[in-house]
């Protein structure tokens, strides 16, 4: 880093990516200004209540009380920073195409205040070219005349919320900078936070690598979801087959089936890839097929569960266990449980749900695990979920998580 500039980091967006980055940066000796345009969230954070599972209230209170972290809605505070990291959502629009409106508005928000010699990094996931074609032109056109020299890099975040092993420090970080000086600045910044910072030749390589990583997961999950349906139709337990294939020491990596894919990354990022492919007249048919298979998985799970209930029962009571998109988090964004519920309701079921980490979802509240039901679908196994009494009551369970393997009365997906 430029030794003249203070170690002040401004992070735009205080969510699943921005807040853990803030704490990791404080641990590495940075003072952090957390900018977010959601005033309620800023107030919540500044009161010491963490909105994300990976950061505890105690961690947050400590950094606030020692004056090394503060959340704010005031974009002008970014003028104090020597590094600005953009960590805002990059969702899909109604046509399921990239929606960069939040990224644009965040960039518009910081641009007039950037001080000279500041490093701007984008950690948000997006298609290759986003840094060069979207972020840099906005900043170049709105930056103060007193800030002729700004450094730029793309460093896509790889955080895996709820993961007890991999975190900001021990997950290698890719950096794609626009020139040598930006590369030097970005490498020094991330080397202060992470054990390993890997510089690639351009921002586009880093942006494309992030899409490849998440598309790799999408297509492998789709493959195993399709394979599961073939195994079930032929009376084979897919998990036994996956375990058997996993004994091969090379060239195979196990993926498990489930209700579908959820969260802000796996269902979304591959569609940034398919859109990017179309811009150059290329096709991403393989990825599109994987997307369709995963989207249809909730329908398959609903039909499979209802086929286990007495067919004379035209309105079976179905309990969905776990509606967050993965264990250990209360995040319901893009959760496949949503389509599972729609499918069950459309087939006449009376549906309730239970999730210890989610209080309210789609206008309804979590019921107790003792809700009387004809069948329970274990969609996401939350760590604090106590299934013993359900099992001892002899309730039919369709386990989509492979966590009740071999338990009597439980059917595995
Ligand atoms: N969640 C993950 O597991 C994960 C992992 C790797 C990468 N990513 C990527 O990181 C980015 C951020 O995702 P996230 O999960 O942290 O999102 P999030 O919704 O948890 O947090 C984003 C925050 O940004 C704020 N925000 C939105 N627009 C803003 C604006 N214009 N100005 C200031 N603040 C604004 C929101 O209020 C919110 O607090 C996305 O591009 C995502 O794809 C997410």
Question: 21 CA distance to ligand 1 centroid (A)?
Answer: 12
Ramachandran quadrant class, 242 (left: phi over 0; alpha: psi -120 to 50; beta: rest): alpha
Instruction: Tell me, yes or no, whether 249 lies in a domain.
Output: no
Residue 146 sits in the same domain as residue 58 = yes
Nearest Cα residue to atom 37 of ligand 1: 38
Instruction: Tell me, yes or no, whether 382 lies in a domain.
Output: yes
Q: Contact 205/236 with Cβ under 8 angstroms? A: no
Please check the confidence at residue 2 and state whether its pLDDT lies above 50: no
Residue 61 sits in the same domain as residue 185 = yes
β-pair partners for 69: 32
Nearest Cα residue to atom 25 of ligand 1: 13
Known catalytic residue: 265?
yes
Mean per-residue pLDDT, 127-132: 98
Q: How would you class 37 by CB atoms within 10 Å of its CB: exposed for 0-12, middle for 13-18, buried for 19 or more?
A: middle
Question: 367 CA distance to ligand 1 centroid (A)?
Answer: 29
Rounded CA separation 381/32 (Å): 35
Q: Which pLDDT score is estimated for 366?
A: 95
Q: Which pLDDT score is estimated for 82?
A: 97
Which structure tokens are listed for 249? 């020491």
Question: 53 CA distance to ligand 1 centroid (A)?
Answer: 15
Instruction: Tell me, yes or no, whether 222 lies in a domain.
Output: no
- The last residue of a domain, from among 185, 201, 217: 201
Q: What range does the domain containing 44 cover?
A: 8-201
What is this structure's pTM?
0.92
Nearest Cα residue to atom 32 of ligand 1: 106
Residue 196 sits in the same domain as residue 263 = no
Among residues 205, 223, 198, the alpha carbon closest in space to that of 286 is found at 223
β-pair partners for 197: 173
Question: 90 CA distance to ligand 1 centroid (A)?
Answer: 7
Ligand 1: which residues within 6 Å by Cβ?
Answer: 12-18, 35-38, 41, 87-90, 102, 105-106, 109, 124-125, 157-159, 161, 264-265
In eight-state DSSP terms, residue 92 is B
23 to 17, 62, 175, 194, 255: CA distances (angstroms): 11, 10, 20, 13, 31
Please check the confidence at residue 73 and state whether its pLDDT lies above 60: yes
In this predicted structure, which of 154-158, 284-288, 385-389 has the lowest mean pLDDT?
385-389
Residue 164's pLDDT band (cuts 50, 70, 90): confident
Q: Which pLDDT score is estimated for 406?
A: 84
pLDDT one-digit tens code per residue, 92-115: 999 999 999 999 999 999 999 999
- The last residue of a domain, from among 182, 201, 220: 201
CA torsion 400-402-405-408 (nearest 10°) is -20
Q: How many domains does the chain have?
A: 2
Instruction: Tell me, yes or no, whether 343 lies in a domain.
Output: yes
Residue 24 sits in the same domain as residue 170 = yes
Instruction: Tell me, yes or no, whether 220 lies in a domain.
Output: no
Residue 277 sits in the same domain as residue 153 = no
Among residues 392, 353, 351, 381, the alpha carbon closest in space to that of 369 is found at 353
The edge-to-edge listing of strands for the beta sheet with 8-12 is 69-72, 31-35, 8-12, 83-86, 119-122, 151-154, 173-177, 197-200
- The last residue of a domain, from among 168, 201, 234: 201
Please check the confidence at residue 397 and state whether its pLDDT lies above 90: yes
Residue 219 sits at the vertex; the CA angle it makes with 214 and 224, to the nearest 5 degrees, is: 125
Residue 4's pLDDT band (cuts 50, 70, 90): low
CATH of the domain at 342: 3.40.50.720
Atom nearest to 106 CA in ligand 1: 31
Residue 197 sits in the same domain as residue 267 = no
Q: Which pLDDT score is estimated for 1?
A: 46
pLDDT one-digit tens code per residue, 244-282: 999 999 999 999 999 999 988 999 999 999 999 999 999
Atom nearest to 18 CA in ligand 1: 16
Residue 173 sits in the same domain as residue 43 = yes
The mean of the pLDDT values for the chain is 95
Instruction: Tell me, yes or no, whether 207 lies in a domain.
Output: no
Atom nearest to 105 CA in ligand 1: 31
Instruction: Tell me, yes or no, whether 250 lies in a domain.
Output: no
Question: 98 CA distance to ligand 1 centroid (A)?
Answer: 14
Instruction: Tell me, yes or no, whether 401 lies in a domain.
Output: yes
Torsions phi, psi for 84 (to 5 deg): -120, 125
Among residues 221, 232, 300, 236, the alpha carbon closest in space to that of 267 is found at 221
In this predicted structure, which of 71-75, 252-256, 362-366 has the lowest mean pLDDT?
362-366
């Amino acid at each position: 880093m430029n030794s003249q500039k203070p170690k002040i980091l401004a992070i735009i967006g205080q969510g699943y990516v921005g807040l853990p980055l803030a704490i990791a940066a404080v641990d590495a000796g940075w003072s952090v200004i957390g900018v977010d345009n959601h005033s309620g969230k800023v107030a919540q954070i500044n009161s010491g209540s963490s909105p994300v599972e990976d950061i505890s209230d105690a961690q947050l209170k400590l950094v606030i009380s020692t004056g090394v972290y503060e959340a704010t809605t005031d974009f002008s505070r970014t003028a104090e920073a020597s590094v600005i990291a953009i960590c805002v959502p990059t969702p899909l629009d109604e046509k399921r195409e990239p929606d960069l409106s939040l990224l644009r508005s965040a960039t518009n928000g910081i641009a007039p205040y950037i001080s000279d010699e500041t490093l701007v990094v984008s950690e948000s996931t997006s298609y290759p070219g986003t840094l060069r074609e979207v972020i840099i032109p906005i900043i170049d056109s709105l930056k103060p005349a007193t800030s002729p020299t700004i450094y730029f890099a793309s460093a896509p975040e790889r955080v895996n919320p709820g993961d007890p092993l991999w975190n900001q420090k021990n997950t290698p970080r890719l950096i794609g900078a626009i020139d040598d000086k930006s590369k030097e600045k970005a490498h020094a910044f991330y080397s202060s936070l992470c054990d390993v910072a890997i510089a690639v030749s351009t921002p586009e390589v880093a942006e494309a690598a992030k899409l490849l990583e998440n598309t790799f997961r999408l297509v492998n999950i789709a493959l195993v979801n399709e394979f599961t349906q073939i195994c079930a139709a032929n009376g084979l337990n897919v998990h036994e087959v996956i375990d058997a294939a996993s004994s091969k020491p090379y060239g195979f990596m196990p993926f498990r089936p489930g209700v579908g894919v959820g969260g802000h990354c796996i269902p979304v990022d591959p569609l940034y890839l398919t859109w990017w492919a179309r811009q150059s007249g290329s096709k991403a048919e393989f990825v599109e097929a994987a997307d369709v298979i995963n989207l249809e998985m909730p329908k398959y799970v609903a039909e499979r569960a209802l086929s286990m209930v007495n067919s004379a029962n035209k309105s079976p009571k179905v309990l969905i266990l776990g509606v967050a998109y993965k264990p250990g988090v209360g995040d319901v964004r893009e959760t496949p449980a949503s389509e599972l519920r729609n499918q069950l309701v459309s087939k006449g079921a009376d549906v309730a749900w239970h999730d210890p980490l989610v209080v309210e979802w789609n206008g309804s509240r979590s019921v107790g695990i003792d809700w009387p039901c004809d069948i329970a679908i274990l969609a996401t196994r939350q760590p604090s979920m106590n299934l013993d009494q359900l099992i001892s009551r002899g309730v039919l369970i369709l386990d989509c998580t492979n966590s009740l393997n071999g338990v009597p009365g439980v059917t595995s997906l």
